[in-house]
Structure 1
C-alpha cells in the first residue's frame, strides 16, 4: 500500500507540474526528441565527433529547470516535511515522463523521415535503445539541479569551478587524439574568457554604455560585472549552439542527413539565444527594478536589456563562429562549401530570439513595483 500511495503521490506531483508549469516538462521532452532523432540519423558509433554528442550537451544545459522554480518547489516540500529520498523520487518521476515523451516523439519523427532502421540492428532493439537514451538525457537534465538545490548551499557567482585547474587547456591539448575533447576544451576556454572579460571589464563596458544611458552607465556596468557568471553562461550556450551549427554545415559525414542536422542545429540555436537568455535576464529583474527606482527612465531600462542582448547575441555569434571553425579543424572530415545563406539564417534566428526574449522581459519588468524587491 505504501508503494502504491508513493506512486500516486508522484503522479499527482508530475501532473501538477505539467498543469502549473508545462514548460518544466515540455522543454526537456523537446530536447530529448532532438537528441533521439540525431541518434537515429547517425547511429551510435562510426564518427570521430558524432553530432548527437554536442547536441546532448546543449540540451542538458538549455533545458535544466531554473533555480527559482526549483527553490519554490523545494521550499514547499520542506514545509510539508519531505525527505531527500522523496524529493529524488519526485524528480525521477519528472525525468521519466519527460524522457519517455521526448523519446517517443523522437522515434516517431525518425520513422516519419525514414532514419530509424540501422544496419544490423532490429527495429525493436533500436526503439528500446533510443528510449533508454532519452531517459538518460532527461535524467542528466532534471536530476543534478534538483540534487544540488536540495543538498548543497547555492554558491556565489564566480568563475567556473574548473578554471583554477586549467582543465580547458588540458582538454585542448588532448583534442588531437580525440576530437570530442576539443569540443569540451574549446567551450570551457570560451567560458573562462567571457566570464573574466565581463567581470574585469567594468570600465570598458561602462564606456560603451555611457552614450546610451548617460549617468547610469557605471551602475549598469557594475551590475553586468556582478552577474558575469550568469551572462557568461548565456553567451557560451549561444556560442556552442552556433558552433554546432557551423561545424554541421562545414563538414561532410556522408550520411545524407545534412538537412536534418541543419534543422536541428537551428532549433538549438533558437533555444539557446531565446529561452535560455530570457531565463538569465529574468533572474536580473531585480537589477532592472533597482535601476527604475534610482530614476532610470523606461528607455534607459530598455537600453539596459538591449545591452544584455547585445552581449549575449552578438558575443555568442562571434565566439560561436570562431569555436565552430576550431571544431572543424579538430575533426578529420572533408570540408563542405561555405554556406553563406545558412549562416545568414543562423544569425537571424539568434537575433530574433534575443529580441523576442528581451521584449518579454521588458514587458514583465514594466509591471514590477518597489514592493516586489523582496521577491527577488
Structure 2
C-alpha cells in the first residue's frame, strides 16, 4: 500500500504538479504567518484569513478529481484506498510546505515565541502545516467519492443562516468575523449575480452591445462559479486592508502585506483563470452564433470586470468593517500599498483573461462535445 501511495504521488507530481505545489506553497505562507504572530494573544490572528484563502484556492478541482476517481473506480478501488491516496498527497504537500515555511521563518528570525523552545515551536509549525494540507485536500476528495457534486446554486450553508450566526458570534470572538463576513459576502454576491440579470446586462451593454443579454444570462447561470472568484479576491483584499492598518506597522505587518499580495495575485490570476476556463463552452457558443473576436474578448472582459472590480470594492468594504468592529489598536500604513494591491488584482485578472482568450480562439465547433 505504501508503494502504491508513493507511485500515485509520483504520478500526480509528473502529470499535475500544481495539485501538490499550490497547497504546499499555501502551507508555507500560513506557517510563516504563524511563526511571525505566534499562537495566542491576538483576538483576530492574521493567519486565519490566510488559511481560509489557502483552503479555498488550493483545494483540488472537481474536474481533475472526477477523472482520477473514475479511473480508480474502473480498477476496483475502495473508498478507503482513495482516502489513503489523498492522505499521501496531503502529507507530501504539508511536509514540503511546512519545511519551507520553517526555513523562511528561520531566515527572517521569526521563531521567537518566548513561551516555547525553538524545537517545540518547529514541531508545532510542521504539525499545523500537515493539518492545513489535510483540510485542503481530503474534504474535496471525500465529497467527490461519497456524495453527489454540488453543481451551481447557493452555497450549502446558505439556507441555514450559518453566516449570520458566525457574524453575531464575532462580538464575543472576533476571529469569527472573518468567516461570518466572508460567508455573508458570498451569499450577497451569488444572489446578486443570479438575480440581477437586467442590471448586469445594462452595465455591460456598452462593452458587448447586442450580446449583453446573452452575457448576463450566462453570468446568472454561472453565478456560483463567479461568486467564488469574487469572494476569493475580496477576502485577499480584506486581509491586505487589515494588515495595512495593523498595530505592528513595521515588522509583522510587512510579512502580512507580502502574503496578502501573493494570495490576491493567486485569487485574481490562476484561480479566476480556472473558473473562466470552465466557461470556454459559453465562449465557443458565442463564436458559433456569429460573435466576432472583439465580442468574445468583451465577453471575457465582462467576467474580469465582475471579479476584479467587484472583488476590490467588496474587499475594501469587508476590510474596513472588520477594522471598525475589532477591538484592537490600529496603526495606518503607507497608502501606496493600496495602489499596489489594485495593480496586482487588475494585472492578474488581465493576464488570466488574455490566456483564456488565447485558448478560446483555438476552439472549434467540434470541440463542443468535449465540454
Normalised TM-score (structure 1): 0.96
User: More displaced, 156-165 or 240-249?
Assistant: 156-165
Determine if the alignment matches structure 1 residue 352 to structure 2 residue 347. yes
Task: Find 1:226's aligned residue among 208, 214, 221.
Answer: 221
Query: Which residue number corresponds to residue 280 of structure 1?
Result: 275
Q: Could you tell me how far 1:253 is from its partner in structure 2?
A: 4.3
1:214, 1:222 → 2: CA distance? 14
2:249, 2:202 → 1: CA distance? 49
Structure 1, gaps ≥5 residues long: 1-5
Contact 1:251 1:328 in 2 (8 A): no
Written as runs of structure 1 = structure 2, the 5 A alignment for 1:177-188 is 177-188=172-183
1:19-45 deviations in Å (ceiling 9; x for gaps): 111111100000000000001111111
Contact 1:35 1:56 in 2 (8 A): yes
The alpha-carbon distance between structure 1 residues 254 and 350, as it changes in their structure 2 partners (threshold 3 A), is closer
1:97-135 deviations in Å (ceiling 9; x for gaps): 000000000000000000123213112211111110000
> Secondary structure of 2:301's match?
helix
**Deviant stretches of 4+, over 4 Å:** none
The alpha-carbon distance between structure 1 residues 36 and 255, as it changes in their structure 2 partners (threshold 3 A), is farther
1:198-229 deviations in Å (ceiling 9; x for gaps): 00011111112222222221111111000000
The alpha-carbon distance between structure 1 residues 306 and 25, as it changes in their structure 2 partners (threshold 3 A), is same
Determine if the alignment matches structure 1 residue 107 to structure 2 residue 115. no
Q: Could you tell me how far 1:167 is from its partner in structure 2?
A: 2.1
> Secondary structure of 2:304's match?
helix
2:327, 2:253 → 1: CA distance? 17
The alpha-carbon distance between structure 1 residues 132 and 370, as it changes in their structure 2 partners (threshold 3 A), is same
Q: Could you tell me how far 1:293 is from its partner in structure 2?
A: 1.1
1:263, 1:155 → 2: CA distance? 34
Query: Which residue number corresponds to residue 307 of structure 1?
Result: 302
Structure 2, gaps ≥5 residues long: none
Query: Which residue number corresponds to residue 88 of structure 1?
Result: 83
Task: Find 1:297's aligned residue among 287, 292, 295.
Answer: 292
2:125, 2:167 → 1: CA distance? 31
Written as runs of structure 1 = structure 2, the 5 A alignment for 1:35-74 is 35-74=30-69
Q: Could you tell me how far 1:53 is from its partner in structure 2?
A: 1.0
Contact 1:42 1:255 in 2 (8 A): no
Q: Could you tell me how far 1:345 is from its partner in structure 2?
A: 0.4
2:333, 2:13 → 1: CA distance? 43
> Secondary structure of 2:361's match?
helix
Contact 2:34 2:47 in 1 (8 A): yes
Determine if the alignment matches structure 1 residue 157 to structure 2 residue 179. no
1:236-271 deviations in Å (ceiling 9; x for gaps): 000000000001111214883221111111111111
> Secondary structure of 2:237's match?
helix
Contact 1:253 1:333 in 2 (8 A): no
Q: Could you tell me how far 1:171 is from its partner in structure 2?
A: 2.0
> Secondary structure of 1:115's match?
coil
Determine if the alignment matches structure 1 residue 235 to structure 2 residue 241. no
1:297, 1:11 → 2: CA distance? 49
Contact 2:248 2:331 in 1 (8 A): no
Task: Find 2:194's aligned residue among 199, 205, 210.
Answer: 199
1:294, 1:77 → 2: CA distance? 39
Q: Could you tell me how far 1:338 is from its partner in structure 2?
A: 5.2
Contact 2:249 2:332 in 1 (8 A): no
State the superposition RMSD in angstroms: 1.3
Contact 2:249 2:331 in 1 (8 A): no
Determine if the alignment matches structure 1 residue 370 to structure 2 residue 354. no
